[in-house]
Structure 1
Amino acid sequence: MRVLLVEDNKLLAQGIVMSLAKSGIQVDHLASYNQAQIALENEDFSAIILDLSLPDGNGADLLKQWRKNGISLPIIVLTANTDFDTRLMCLDIGADDYLSKPFDVRELIARLKAIIRRQHGLDNNQFSYGALNIDFARCEVHFRDELVSLSRREYQLLLEFAQSAGRVLTRNQLEQLTYGWDEVGSNSIEVHIHHLRKKTATELIKTVRGIGYILTETV
């Protein structure tokens, strides 16, 4: 999972980047309106965290511009303004969620994961993609109607692919996910993907040479 953070407060941004990295989320940090304007032209993100008060522009204007241009990525707005009218305005112009400063980064992570689940249709405790079915409530995986027994790490990795179904996950993004795993080695990602393929189908997770991997809609 890769997220764009637009925040001019360096200390706050550093804390967010570090906390999200520990949760396996890669963050690209930008500190200005102008940088953020062009950030989505050539880059691929799962969600955006946007501060309203930027040094060279208003984050609300940026949000409106993105929505006008057809950008449908989930967006969480951050602001020091706590009044109801500001919150209502953010939601009206296209924000998916809203957090008032100061906030606990753990809440930001929880909200971020929730809006991404909704974006990918994962919010009903079920995920179906081709022959793959995941029941989040029971932590069960079925492939071609057969129950698949996965280790905790394999399950975590598969969830990451599910959240990015149909999109390439780079090796760097997957390394961010495995950050802090006790058993991580130089080939840890390949080992877990090998096990997932062996337990499902080789073609379920396709290698994109020189870039990373992608979950395919295998039948």
Structure 2
Amino acid sequence: MKIFLLEPDKALQNRIETCLNQYRLRINVHKFQHEEALLSHAESFCEYALFILNLANPLDPSLMHFVRNNGGDAPIMLILEPTFDPPKLKTLYYHSYNDIIFKPFFPEEIMFRIYKLCDIWNDDKFFFSQDIYFDCKNLQFIYREEEIALGKKEALLLKFLLVKSPCVVSFQDITYYIYRGESVNEDCIRSLVRQLRAKIPLSFIETVKGEGYRVVKRGE
């Protein structure tokens, strides 16, 4: 998946890219710092799944219209500087941007918005690397050439942890999402986590004492 990121702050660009690629599917972020890049890349607009734009004059819709008129049908998220005048937000909403975010923000905040805009919350595959991934639809964890079968509840738990990453998932959330009204206690959930950990040859499910579990930075 390709994202067009127009942002003059190069350090912020890099933080966003690092955050996106740390937790989920590899996302190809094409980074630009000047608005001229929009004008010179019109022939490839149709290839992008999302445009993230920090424009010098966000109230001027001409660049947005340029994207749309040149095949850029993907959602557009607008980044606004903290100096932007809030009463002018009404004008921006009339321009029909898909989302707006004010600086400063945490990379995780924009990450979750991107997942929602690109409709990838329900992806069937969660990649750790090219040959290591979780195939949710087929209840399998693929570790290079090995296919590791997961039980239905194990797969639901793993998907839930990955979707919510890097946030902590509480015992209550797991009970609701995995067991759907069944009467279970925390020991039952701990047992399910142990089963999942025993099957997967990577250590990325972290116990947060007194709270629940979360997926930490992936790696072998």
Q: Is the 8 A contact 1:7 1:31 kept in 2?
A: yes
One of 27, 35, 50 as aligned partner of 1:25: 27
Kindly indicate whether the alpha-carbon contact (under 8 Å) linking 1:52 and 1:60 is maintained by their aligned counterparts in 2.
no
Whole-Å separation in 2 of the counterparts to 1:152 and 1:101: 39
Corresponding residue for residue 97 of structure 1 = 99
Do the aligned partners of 1:64 and 1:93 also contact (CA within 8 Å) in 2? no
CA positional deviation for 1:106: 0.5
- Could you say which structure has the greater relative contact order, defined with CA pairs below 8 angstroms and 6 or more residues apart? 1
Shift of 1:181: 4.2
- Give the Cα–Cα distance (whole angstroms) in 2 for the partners of residues 88 and 10 of structure 1: 29
Root mean square deviation of aligned Cα: 3.6
* Equivalent of 1:50 in 53, 57, 63: 53
* C-alpha separation in 1, matches of 2:71 and 2:92: 17
Q: 1:68 Cα deviation (Å)? A: 3.9
> Equivalents in 2 of 1:13, 1:90: separation in Å?
23
The answer on whether the counterparts of 1:75 and 1:97 sit within 8 Å (CA) in structure 2 is yes
Report the counterpart of residue 78 of structure 1 in structure 2: 79
Letter in 2 for 1:18: T
TM-score, normalised by the number of residues in structure 2:
0.51
With over 3 angstroms needed to count, the CA separation of the structure-2 counterparts of 1:152 and 1:99, relative to structure 1, is: farther
Mark the CA change 1:10 to 1:140 in structure 2 (over 3 Å): closer, same or farther.
closer
Gaps of 5+ in 2: 125-134, 148-154, 163-216
Q: Distance in 1 between matches of 2:71 and 2:219?
A: 42
Distance 2:69 2:15 in 1: 31
Residue aligning to 2:211: none
Aligned length: 138
The correspondence for 1:115, drawn from 114, 117, 126, is 117
Among all aligned residue pairs of Structure 1 and Structure 2, give the percentage whose two residues are the same amino acid.
22
Write the distance in 1 (CA, Å) between the matches of 2:96 and 2:30.
Answer: 21
Residue in structure 2 matching 1:151, options 141, 148, 159: 141
Q: Return closer, same or farther for 1:126/1:181 CA change in 2, 3 Å cut-off.
A: closer
Say whether the 8 Å CA contact 1:53–1:59 is kept in structure 2.
Answer: no
Whether contact under 8 Å (1:3, 1:48) holds in the other structure is yes
Q: Which runs of 5+ in 1 are unaligned?
A: 128-138, 142-147, 160-179, 184-219
Runs of 4+ in 1 over 3 A off after TM superposition: 57-60, 81-86, 152-156
CA distance in structure 2 between the partners assigned to 1:47 and 1:67 by the alignment: 12
- Measure the CA separation in 1 of the matches of 2:87 and 2:142: 44
Structure with higher Rg: it is 2
Letter in 1 for 2:95: I
CA distance in 2, matches of 1:97, 1:76: 5
Q: Distance in 2 between matches of 1:94 and 1:46?
A: 17
